[in-house]
Amino acid sequence: MMNFLKQLAKVLLGRAAIVGIVPPIEFVGWKMATGTLPPWSRGGSNALAIAFSQCDAELAANVLASKVILTQFRQASVSTEVDQLRWRHYIIYWSATVASRLSGECKNFVEMGVCDGLTAWYASCARQNFNCGGEFFLYDAWEGMRSDLLTASEGKSAGSYSYLDIENTKKNLSLCGSDKFVYVKGYIPESFSQSRHPEHIAWMHIDLNSSIPTIASLNFFWDRLMTGGVVLLDDFAWPGYEDTRVEVEKWCESRGLDILQFPTGQALLTKRA
């Protein structure tokens, strides 16, 4: 990974000279680099960025102490891997903060595709800053991806994530304050008929790496999303996930919704009145 980053930095610095961008590069990660100061620079310059930096530092300390185990990364490079995801995590934290500020005493969150609980950590930190009430519902099979829930072009992902363990996720998130987590184990959309679900939600994160359960999640929860609520999609614009992008774009177009795409590959939807 470090060799890749060095090569990427060399290429980007060469391109920077061509287009007149002055180094240094302030952030490198997730196959992108930026010369602008990120929101968390020097600990952050506004309340939201400062709160994010504190949340991020707490996670980093727990990872370094091997109290939070992120099985999706090689243990030898886990801290570096998490650092490279910081822009992604800031967007998660920011969107969760926006949702937490909505009016109402009970603001439930949902995440579809939880893995080790890494992104849920950031969303939960934001929730707890506003005493949102309600619960945080976490949906995942915590088993390998099933071929019958994948399109032909996604078929190579069958069996992926078979190493996940719900007990590890629970242990990780037990260190993340006092949020009320509800774990819903099972494959989407089957799990929608096998457990209780929130009637109203303020925030949803979808990180399912496949189009069929992604659209099923949007169909199931969109009408439950509060006005002003946020849906954040992961991997929306990454090569290899074109089926998800096409299906989400068709879904949004049929509802007159606009998609905000980020350089991280994430995409955001909000619900208008």
pLDDT single digits (tens) 10-44: 555 555 554 555 568 899 998 889 989 999 999 99
Structural domain count of the chain: 2
Interatomic CA distance for residues 251 and 226, integer angstroms: 18
13 and 111 together in one domain: no
Task: Say what the pLDDT of residue 9 is.
Answer: 53
Same-domain check for residues 2 and 108: no
b/e for 79-115, b at 16 or more Cβ within 10 A?
eebbebbbbbbbbbbbbbbbbbebeeeebbbbbbbbb
pTM, whole model, 2 decimals? Answer: 0.91
What is the domain extent for residue 262?
37-270
Write out the DSSP string of 37-98: PPTTGGG-SSHHHHHHHHHHHHHHHHHHTTSS--TTS-GGGHHHHHHHTHHHHHHHHHHHHH
**Tens digit of each residue's pLDDT (9 = 90 or more) over 112-136:** 999 999 999 999 999 999 988 899 9
- 8 A C-beta contact, residue 96 and residue 123: yes
Domain check: are 31 and 79 in the same one?
A: no
Q: Are residues 13 and 72 in the same domain?
A: no
Are 43 and 92 members of one domain?
A: yes
Residue 182 and residue 138 in contact, taking contact as beta carbons nearer than 8 Å: yes
